[in-house]
Amino acid sequence: MAACSSPRSAVVAVALLVVALCLHGAAAQSPLCEDYYDDTCPDAYDITRQVLIDAHQSDPRIFASLIRLHFHDCFVQGCDGSLLLDSVPGMPSEKTSPPNNGSARGFPVVDAVKAALEDACPGVVSCADILALAAEISVELSGGPSWGVLLGRLDGLTSDFNGSLDLPAPTDNLTVLQGKFTALKLNDVDLVALSGGHTFGRVQCQFVTDRLYNFSGTNMPDPTLDSAYRAFLSQRCPRNGDGRSLNDLDPTTPDTFDKNYYTNLEVNRGFLESDQELKSSPQAQGTTAPIVNQFANSQDAFFRSFAQSMINMGNLNPVTDPSRGQVRIDCKRVN
Ligand code: HEM
Ligand SMILES: *[C@@H]1O[C@H](CO)[C@@H](O)[C@H](O)[C@H]1NC(C)=O
Ligand SMILES: *[C@@H]1O[C@H](CO)[C@@H](O)[C@H](O)[C@H]1NC(C)=O
Ligand SMILES: *[C@@H]1O[C@H](CO)[C@@H](O)[C@H](O)[C@H]1NC(C)=O
Ligand SMILES: *[C@@H]1O[C@H](CO)[C@@H](O)[C@H](O)[C@H]1NC(C)=O
């Protein structure tokens, strides 16, 4: 029997208590493992992949949206599917908090993956694991690296609206960003590599208007923003225009997962203040800026670090104790 696997029966579950940890190589620090569903839902990866490919036909943005859901799930009380729960009386959902409301998207596709997995292996694959699988598949299908997704998370029982207010914000400076990552034991390499998620996907004008017109209340543009890019963005995002209008996070290759996020930062074309801070903050010199340079020069180095940092992020506080979690049947509500 595998050291870490999904329980198939009470007998197996008892045996699992004896061998609680996955003991394979690099995963030794994590209670999760790659082969968790090998016995109970061997096609989980392929089923998820097919639903994503189908969804992408009508929604080219979906891959970017799905990886962001995993990030916003993991950063708030760990990767426990808390983001996916709908509000109930007394427990407002993370979905409705400012960093997510009108912004986080892709929930119906998560539900479609869940439905397909419930068809194939009822009650087996958690919603938190679906987000981890969808993130990896989305990156790989967009031209990025692949990695062995660690699995075996249970879904938590609560959504933490207040916790989601502390998600990294687009106006955070480098010191604040580093503080939010360090609080989760994620280091500067993780911060720079994971920010590379902004190599694809879309962003609303409201997150750049202060940089274009009134940076830090100065009534002037952000001086670090490349002037040609500023002119381009000012056309797309006029001062009193619709703050919800969409832009590419990486206009050079909008839907491809590549190192262009970093080459953009090198020429002061980061979209968000939090992006450009990694390269241009005085505090970045000797800390994050050299990592930006390294990734701008080597897609290989970026891909290797990104895969490792996604695993690190995916290891944030997984629920594995059945008294504290469950495999939700519907990702939107506890069973
Ligand atoms: C480091 C701090 C981060 C900040 C401040 C930040 C902020 C943002 C903001 C403001 C948006 C635009 C949302 C909107 O317009 O509705 C966005 C989009 C996005 N973020 Fe981040 N983010 C961060 C880190 C990450 C990480 C770690 C990932 C993934 C590994 C990620 C992946 C994405 C993706 C893919 C999109 C586009 C989503 C879509 O098109 O639906 N971000 N982010
Ligand atoms: C979320 O956004 C919608 C539409 O912009 C708004 O009507 C609603 O009040 C917001 N919800 C919360 C909890 O702020
Ligand atoms: C969330 O924060 C609000 C305002 O600070 C507070 O009233 C509320 O009790 C908090 N909710 C939880 C569940 O901690
Ligand atoms: C970063 O932002 C925080 C919070 O706004 C502020 O207290 C701090 O002084 C800023 N640090 C730098 C170096 O600008
Ligand atoms: C610029 O920002 C400051 C501080 O946020 C604000 O008080 C001021 O009203 C803004 N100016 C304009 C023209 O919006």
The tens-digit pLDDT sequence of the chain (335 residues) is 446 888 875 434 434 443 444 544 444 468 999 999 999 999 999 999 999 999 999 999 999 999 999 999 999 999 999 999 999 999 999 999 999 999 999 999 999 999 999 999 999 999 999 999 999 999 999 999 999 999 999 999 999 999 999 999 999 999 999 999 999 999 999 999 999 999 999 999 999 999 999 999 999 999 999 999 999 999 999 999 999 999 999 999 999 999 999 999 999 999 999 999 999 999 999 999 999 999 999 999 999 999 999 999 999 999 999 999 999 999 999 99
d(CA 186, CA 179): 9
Residues 243 and 157 placed together within one structural domain of the fold? no
- What are the Cα distances from residue 306, in Å, to 139, 191, 195, 301? 10, 10, 9, 8
Q: What is the pLDDT at residue 30?
A: 84
CA distance 52 to 34: 20
Are 285 and 255 contained in the same domain?
Answer: yes
pLDDT at 319: 97
Question: Based on the domain organization, do 163 and 186 belong to the same domain?
Answer: no
Catalytic residue list contains 56: no
From the CA of 213, the nearest ligand is 5
DSSP H or E stretch at residue 204: strand 202-204
Measured in angstroms, how far is the CA atom of residue 177 from the centroid of ligand 5? 24
Domain range for residue 90?
Answer: 42-167
Partners of 154 in the beta sheet? 319
> Do the domain assignments include residue 82?
yes
Dist CA 241 CA 209 (whole Å): 10
Report which of 66, 13, 47, 32 is spatially closest to residue 118, judged by C-alpha positions.
47
Closest C-alpha to ligand 1, atom 23: 195
Residues 159 and 187 in one domain: no
CA distance 27 to 312: 10
> Given this model, what pLDDT does residue 240 score?
92
- Please tell me the distance from the alpha carbon of residue 161 to that of residue 92, in angstroms, as a whole number: 6
183, 306: one domain: yes
Question: Does any ligand 5 atom lie closer than 6 A to the CB of residue 217?
Answer: yes
The span from the CA of 205 to the CA of 246, in Å, is 6
pLDDT, position 3: 65
pLDDT at 9: 53
CA atoms within 13 A on the CB side of 301: 12
Give the pLDDT score at 8.
73
User: Within a domain: residue 112?
Assistant: yes
C-alpha–C-alpha distance, residues 335 and 15, integer Å: 25
Give the CATH number, domain containing residue 48. 1.10.520.10
Determine whether the annotation assigns residue 58 to a binding site: no
CA 263, CA 248: separation in Å to the nearest integer? Answer: 15
What pLDDT digit, counting tens, does each position of 98-133 carry? 999 999 999 999 999 999 999 999 999 999 999 999
